[in-house]
Amino acid sequence: MIRHFLIVVTALFFLAQPGGAVQPDEILADPVLEQRARELSKNVRCVVCQNQTIDESEADQARDLRLVVRERLMAGDSDEEVLDYLVYRYGDWVLLRTPVKAETLALWLLPLVLLGIAAASVLFWYRGVSRRAKKPAQALSAEEKARLDALLGEDD
């Protein structure tokens, strides 16, 4: 009995989803539009708390932007148009995922370039090591052999 109860309770935990900061009075009647609003909100920065999305933040200004997102969706905007509307007013900064464009290319490509440099460095280093390893051992010169014999002979 208790076991069944625990299974049900555990299952309920998996059903639970983070509710975000969306208030009941903000939710749109159309579930499809509401879902789009939630997805869009996850990429929009709260202009007050700055490292939270408007989906998570309970700040008044986050609520304002959630309402604007819904207002634009109700007006028939596409997802892109909704984000453009916010970017016009707050700049690219309002998006948590920086868009790829000429000014942000360095930001997006620099990690790849650094990774390439790192990979090339490792490759060069590795080839150096294996080349040295492949070199045949040189025979000892007569002088070295005499010294070695002398050292080994000391034990006798």
Partner 1 sequence: MSKRVFFLVPFLVLFGLGVAFYFGLFAAAERGQRVIPDAMVGKPVPNFDLASYRSDQPGLNTADLKGQPQLVNFFASWCVPCLAEHPLISKLAEEEGVIVNGIGYSDTPENIENWLKRHGNPYARVGVDETRRIGVDWGVSGVPETYLVDAEGKIVFKYGGPLTRQVIKEEILPLMKGLSR
43 touches 33 (CB < 8 A) = no
21 touches 56 (CB < 8 A) = yes
Q: Which is nearer to partner 1, 110 or 146 (CB)?
A: 110
Q: Which is nearer to partner 1, 125 or 140 (CB)?
A: 125
The answer to whether 93 contacts partner 1 (rule: CB under 8 A) is: yes
Q: DSSP states of 67-120 as a string? A: HHHHHHHHTT--HHHHHHHHHHHH-GGGBSS---SGGGHHHHHHHHHHHHHHHH
**In the bound complex, what is the minimum distance in angstroms from residue 149's beta carbon to partner 1?**
36
Q: Which is nearer to partner 1, 25 or 154 (CB)?
A: 25
Structural tokens at position 30: 């159309």
Contact pick of 20, 28, 34, 64 for partner 1 (by CB under 8 A): 64
**In the bound complex, what is the minimum distance in angstroms from residue 32's beta carbon to partner 1?**
24
The answer to whether 121 contacts partner 1 (rule: CB under 8 A) is: yes
Read off the DSSP letter of residue 35. Answer: H
**In the bound complex, what is the minimum distance in angstroms from residue 123's beta carbon to partner 1?**
14
Here's the x/- map for partner 1, 38-57, by CB under 8 A: it reads as ---------xx-x-------
Within positions 10 to 39, which residues make up the interface with partner 1, using CB under 8 A?
A: none
66 touches 119 (CB < 8 A) = no
